[in-house]
Amino acid sequence: MGSAAGRRTVRQVLIVNAQAITGEALSIRTEGDIILDVGPHVRTRTGEEVVDLAGGTVIPGLHDHHVHLRAVAAAGASVSVGPPEVADAEALRRVLRATEPRQDGWIRAVGYHDSVAGELDRRQLDDVISTVPVRVQHRSGAMWILNSAGLAALGRSDHPTGRLFREDAEVAASTVHAPVDFAPVSARLSAYGVVGVTEATPNLTADELDSFDAAVGDGRLRQRVLVLSHDTGHTHLGFGPIKRILDDDTLDLDDLTQWVERNHRKGVAVAMHCVTVVQLVVAVAALRAAGSMVGDRIEHAAMVPEEMIDDLVDLGVTVVTQPNFVAERGEQYLQDIPAADLPQLWRLASLLRAGVAVAAGTDAPFGDLDPWACMRAARDRLCASGAVLSVPERVSAHTALRLFLGEPLAPAQARVLAPGARADLTLLSEPSDVVLDELTAELVAGTVIGGVLYRNR
């Protein structure tokens, strides 16, 4: 397909000698940002760029339905301090002491889990590093742990533990001084065949929305971006359901019900972050009391008791799940979760069989940004050790792929390759049977986003 990682805008592109994911011969012509022609054999026109896939596969471009792009960009300048690479307190000490501060003067670490050194606090971090500000993000993304120098930099020296729960925005506002560079993240996404993302961080500020809008507008962020925040009229962004994070300690059914009602009255769907059974129970109760509407979502649904599956069907909500965590965190689940509860964890096949609308996202940077790894986890349910977590929840490779082919605003509604559709495509170097067998980003030969071809090889 030519030289590495180039970008070229052309009026027309014709993709030939390709096949659909179902194996049929396929040619596609794009004009501008629209698919113009689709068929087994489309004739070449003078002046158009011809891309010969030599028997490879074309699919609708992948969409990651739950990701945190600003955090992904920040994680690129951070050190990982979670298992399995960092497995104990001594390894944590060694890694942090070997890390140079960033340009802003901080040491920023991510991915921490309590299995490494317990409930980390300021005093433990002070024992490791006391003179440089340090902040460590818990793997859940819900907490930052700061040492005393870090707390002083934030004007929080009197905080007893340095464990700042759900204060991500405050920490970021006090520590991030350079504009977010979305270009490297966007290039990585293109290499995976990702044409669009749903930015799942709730309550984005005006400045954060401005940065997204500007990055999409000037091409630093190639992908289409749907945000789960209020529509503020930014030209280059899409706005979807409004997201709310639920935490066990602050659940209030009446307040949540009123929040759902307020958004629904404005014609806005809701997306609720549910990772525990009690969070799901309250979310379902709020939707039953307020009434559900098309577009309502449950983010994660990490734990779903069997008796609640029918509730999800009745409400018509879409579950946006992350089966990649089976592969990434499976060993920890097997240690921490009672065996009787494991069948509830990261359900997939059982939800689909019941008729629940399901799509997937990577939850990067808290999960791996690679959607193909997520697909393999959905198909295989393999932990790192080779143990299998809930065989009945396995799905076919084709079903796993479809989890990333949905419309941004209707994640479980698969996009199709048809005239008039937006020219967002993933080009794969091998036939469909190989693609489905391997489910790997190594087969992504190029990505077409809005008619612009980005070549990987």
Tokens of 235: 């030209």
In angstroms, the CA 23 to CA 124 distance is: 57
Cα separation of 406 and 394, whole Å? Answer: 20
Tokens of 360: 């997937």
Predicted local confidence at residue 345, as pLDDT: 97
Selecting from 2.60.40.10, 2.30.40.10, 3.20.20.70, 2.40.110.10, what CATH number does the domain 1-61+415-457 have? 2.30.40.10
- Summarize the confidence of residues 206-229 as an average pLDDT: 94
Strands 143-146 and 163-165: antiparallel
pLDDT score, position 111: 87
| Mean pLDDT, residues 25-38 | 96
pLDDT digits (tens, 9 = 90+) for 302-314: 999 999 999 999 9
| CATH T-level assignment (fold) for domain 241-414 | TIM Barrel (3.20.20)
Tell me the two tokens of residue 66: 């739950």
Q: Are 286 and 253 in contact (CB under 8 A)?
A: yes
Q: Where in the chain is the domain with CATH 2.30.40.10?
A: 1-61+415-457
Residue 4 has pLDDT above 60, yes or no: no
**Rg of the chain over all Cα atoms, to the nearest angstrom:** 23
Residue 2 has pLDDT above 60, yes or no: no
pLDDT tens track for 385-441: 899 999 999 999 999 999 999 999 999 999 999 999 999 999 999 999 999 999 999
Report whether pLDDT(175) > 70.
no
Give percent of the chain above pLDDT 70. 96
Closest Cα to residue 374, out of 350, 410, 405, 332?
A: 405
Distance CA 275, CA 304 (A): 9
Closest CA to 173 of 164, 182, 183: 164
Looking at the DSSP bridge assignments, the partners of residue 112 are: 138
What confidence score (pLDDT) does residue 200 get?
97
Averaged pLDDT for residues 220-247 = 94
Residue with the two structure tokens 């990702």? 194
pLDDT band at 142 (very low <50, low <70, confident <90, very high): confident
In the chain, the percentage of residues whose pLDDT exceeds 90 is: 79
CB-based burial label for 236 (10 Å; 0-12, 13-18, 19+): middle
pLDDT tens across 73-101, in order?
888 778 889 888 898 999 999 999 999 88
pLDDT at 6 over 60: no
Give the span between the Cα atoms of 187 and 184, in whole angstroms. 5
Which residues share a beta bridge with 274?
300
Q: Please tell me the least confidently modeled range out of 6-10, 117-121, 315-319.
A: 6-10
Q: What's the pLDDT at 5? A: 47
**Average pLDDT of the residues of the chain:** 93
> What are the residue ranges of CATH 3.20.20.140 in the chain?
241-414
pLDDT of 8 over the 60 cut: no
Task: Please state whether the peptide bond connecting residue 365 to the residue before it is cis, i.e. omega within 30 degrees of 0.
Answer: yes
Token pair in block for residue 452: 């612009």
Each residue of 327-350: pLDDT tens digit? 999 999 999 999 999 999 999 999
Model pLDDT for residues 232-243, shown as the tens digit of each residue: 889 999 999 999
DSSP 187: H
Domain 73-175 fold: Diaminopimelate Epimerase; Chain A, domain 1 (3.10.310)
359-381 pLDDT tens trace: 999 999 999 999 999 999 999 99
User: Is the pTM value of this prediction over 0.75?
Assistant: yes
Q: Are 50 and 68 in contact (CB under 8 A)?
A: no
